Structure 1
Amino acid sequence: MSLAMSNITRRFGQTEVLRGIDLDVAKGELIALLGPSGSGKTTLLRIIAGLDWPDAGNLSFEGQDWLLKTAAQRKIGMVFQHYALFPHMTVRENIAFGLTVLPRAQRPGKAQIAETVQRLLTFLQISQLADRYPSELSGGQRQRVALGRAMAIEPRVLLLDEPFGALDAQVRRDLRRWLRSVHDSAGITTIFVTHDQEEAFELADRVVVMNGGVIEQIGRPDQIYDHPATPFVARFLGLTVELPVVMKAGRAEAAGFDLTALPRRALPEGPATLFLRPADIQPVADPAAPFHLTEISSTGALLRVVAESDSGCRIEAEVPRRDGHGLETGMNVSLCAVAGQIFPGLASQRASSPVAAETTPHALKENRL
């Protein structure tokens, strides 16, 4: 492993911001730290960068104890949300800055610095901006310059803290695709912080979902999306419909629901909670069903429908508009779940109790808490 963390703990006063973080990052890997505000993502990034120190735990890079090294000795490249460019320096001078302030014994000559800067300007496709000042650049261009400055020192690890948070949606989409191609070309071990799951899933090799100072799940983007390991991850990733069910012989059952499309689960018999995305629920006309449609609204591509039962159960679903022509308010429907995640017991009474998506040792490792 390139970077290894074990039992990283950090407190601010009585608040435990990190509670025993264990994480290994392979050389050349791109990792996303994903979670809501206050989950500990930025604090962990600052500890890796040498800008903060843990109260307990170990941090090593290629076998070297990084807790014995300063930020400068770790040779970290860091990109912040708000760029932190020097306004009085041109793009060329901003990118060169990290090289010009190295100790004399490590500092390259002027010609070598100029060559490195020109190579990065070309690599990042901003050669035409070399003599402009930050005030003359767009947000996306400033972010490219910030990345160039971080890469100029040939960092061992590149850290990005909400790198696209200050940009509009279209620029964010364009830049993250660009960043992925830059990462693949440069091969730098990269860790970035985000609260945007779409950003994390599109960019990262693996996603680390954090909550309340702990890691809830680690895995590949598609694995986490399809098989959330805890109720928190399920809710965070949009499984907002929570349905009490009963497990019988590995099958979930609930009145008014057709759950036969869900695979059998190795769960104890008795009460459980099924987490569903609204788009994974299909209403099917059924005069004998206990649910009836009370609301139907269109967003253009989708129909958002609400189904209620006489017992007070209220379910929201999303249906492609072209598939919902026969739906009308007042009609009775059964609800077919095409995908979902089940946790034993009542989820509201549980902290975290993952159901492994697979049963192989590799899958259990990837879905660890």
Structure 2
Amino acid sequence: MAIQINQLAKHFGQTQVLRGIDLNIEKGELVALLGPSGSGKTTLLKIIAGLEWPDAGALQVDGADWLQLAAKDRRIGFVFQQYALFPHMSVRDNLAFGLTVGSRANRPGKDVIRRKVDELLQFLQIPQLANRFPTQLSGGQKQRVALGRALAITPSVLLLDEPFGALDAAIRRDLRRWLRDVHEATGSTTIFVTHDQEEAFELADRVVVMGDGKIEQIGTADQIHDHPASPFVARFMGATVELPVQMHAGRPEARGLDLSRIARRPLPDGAATLFVRPQDITPVLDPHGDWTVTRRSSTGAQLRLVATHPTLGEVEVDLPRRDAPDGLAAGATLTLRIEVGTLFTTPAAPQTAATHTLHAAPRKENAQ
């Protein structure tokens, strides 16, 4: 099913949680709604499901106006973070539930339901769990059952709200790969909500980054990582270091920063802000440098430094510990070389700021 969303808006009291959402999703596409808490992504998902209603806008699925349909008439498969399994029912009965509650005219016969459940048990790779109850299942097993129950009705659209949020990291990784396989096998149009960047980028065909009720950017993992469209996206993608620079003849300049790897950019002269990830800063020992190492810690694999500048404040630097030069101790003076970053002119508003992503050759240790 192809989904078209136009100018959807939603208020809860005085709070506007969706601010004119426009989004098209192709048939068979898997799309992630990614953003922090309060960005509006779950509200958007619930409107598609028919569990919330917008104040304005349009929602069409294969040309049909879904705002004229009740939730029960949309044939939606919805998977919640907390599974929502019926505790008094076995796995088999949970999977069969959606097939048994339709109108008598549309309800399949008992033999058809049994065969469908048997197929799902095999497809979900849990036939041995058929007669267990939810209290006898692990978190990952419960989530498979919840997804199977949603798939049982052959949904027109599959919606998942933080489906792996309650699971530990190892199980989440396994289930992400499994869910991608399920999606490709069923060909369903799937939308899932997450605040986990790794999850969104590993699973989705496209990622929709949301913030404060708006869509900030739509794209693939590489597009969003390398070309954030706004300061909000840059920060959300880990560019937590913000450095004031001055543009002059298309080049950013700042004392204490080596910006030699930054190509000339067609930005106006004047103030700008350089957004950089800590791992994209190379500390260069320099007896005349303007930065001083004030804190050093190690995670074993990574060396983390805090460097301080008399006017620019503190900057975090993250680099592989084994590749760090000798002498990076507290009190060492540095020049900071910027390998890659994103530049936004200031003081223009974020949504209208000119943006250019700056590319340079990666450090040797990061080269593929």
Map of 1:336 onto structure 2: 337
Give 2:253's aligned amino acid: E
Q: How big is the shift at 1:345?
A: 0.8
**CA offsets 1:280-310 (integer angstroms, 9 cap, x no match):** 0000122232222222221111111122223
* Equivalent pair of 2:265/2:356 in contact (CA under 8 Å): no
Change in 2 beyond 3 A, CA 1:161/1:253: same
Q: How big is the shift at 1:342?
A: 0.6
Q: How big is the shift at 1:350?
A: 4.1
**CA offsets 1:118-163 (integer angstroms, 9 cap, x no match):** 1111111111111111111001100000000000000010000111
Correspondence 1:23 to 2:23: yes
Correspondence 1:189 to 2:160: no
Map of 1:55 onto structure 2: 55
User: What is the distance in 2 between the residues matched to 1:254 and 1:356?
Assistant: 18
Q: How big is the shift at 1:73?
A: 1.4
* Equivalent pair of 2:346/2:353 in contact (CA under 8 Å): no
User: What is the distance in 2 between the residues matched to 1:50 and 1:312?
Assistant: 50
* Equivalent pair of 1:158/1:190 in contact (CA under 8 Å): yes
Change in 2 beyond 3 A, CA 1:144/1:354: farther
User: What is the distance in 1 between the residues matched to 2:345 and 2:112?
Assistant: 62
* 1:1-369 to 2 correspondences below 5 Å: 2-311=2-311, 313-326=313-326, 327-346=328-347, 350=350, 353=353, 355=355
**CA offsets 1:55-96 (integer angstroms, 9 cap, x no match):** 100000011111111112111000001111111111111111
* Equivalent pair of 1:231/1:352 in contact (CA under 8 Å): no
Q: How big is the shift at 1:186?
A: 1.1
* Equivalent pair of 1:92/1:131 in contact (CA under 8 Å): yes
User: What is the distance in 2 between the residues matched to 1:154 and 1:352?
Assistant: 43
> 5+ residue gaps in structure 1?
359-369
Count of residues in correspondence between the two structures: 357
Where 2:142 maps in the other structure, the secondary structure is helix
Q: How big is the shift at 1:356?
A: 5.7
* Equivalent pair of 2:341/2:357 in contact (CA under 8 Å): no
Q: How big is the shift at 1:32?
A: 0.7
Where 1:48 maps in the other structure, the secondary structure is helix
User: What is the distance in 2 between the residues matched to 1:239 and 1:346?
Assistant: 18
User: What is the distance in 1 between the residues matched to 2:354 and 2:148?
Assistant: 41
* Equivalent pair of 1:273/1:346 in contact (CA under 8 Å): no
Change in 2 beyond 3 A, CA 1:162/1:344: same
Q: How big is the shift at 1:354?
A: 5.5
Give 1:79's aligned amino acid: V
Where 1:233 maps in the other structure, the secondary structure is helix
* Equivalent pair of 1:292/1:333 in contact (CA under 8 Å): yes
Structure 1 vs Structure 2 CA RMSD? 1.6
User: What is the distance in 2 between the residues matched to 1:38 and 1:288?
Assistant: 46
User: What is the distance in 1 between the residues matched to 2:29 and 2:263?
Assistant: 33
User: What is the distance in 1 between the residues matched to 2:183 and 2:352?
Assistant: 34
Where 1:245 maps in the other structure, the secondary structure is strand
Structure 1 length as normaliser, TM-score?
0.93
Change in 2 beyond 3 A, CA 1:346/1:296: farther
227-236 or 140-149, which deviates more: 227-236
User: What is the distance in 2 between the residues matched to 1:48 and 1:197?
Assistant: 22
The percent of aligned pairs where both chains have the same amino acid is 62
Give 1:339's aligned amino acid: V
User: What is the distance in 2 between the residues matched to 1:39 and 1:256?
Assistant: 37
* Equivalent pair of 1:244/1:346 in contact (CA under 8 Å): no
User: What is the distance in 2 between the residues matched to 1:351 and 1:4?
Assistant: 23
Q: How big is the shift at 1:256?
A: 1.0
* Equivalent pair of 2:230/2:350 in contact (CA under 8 Å): no
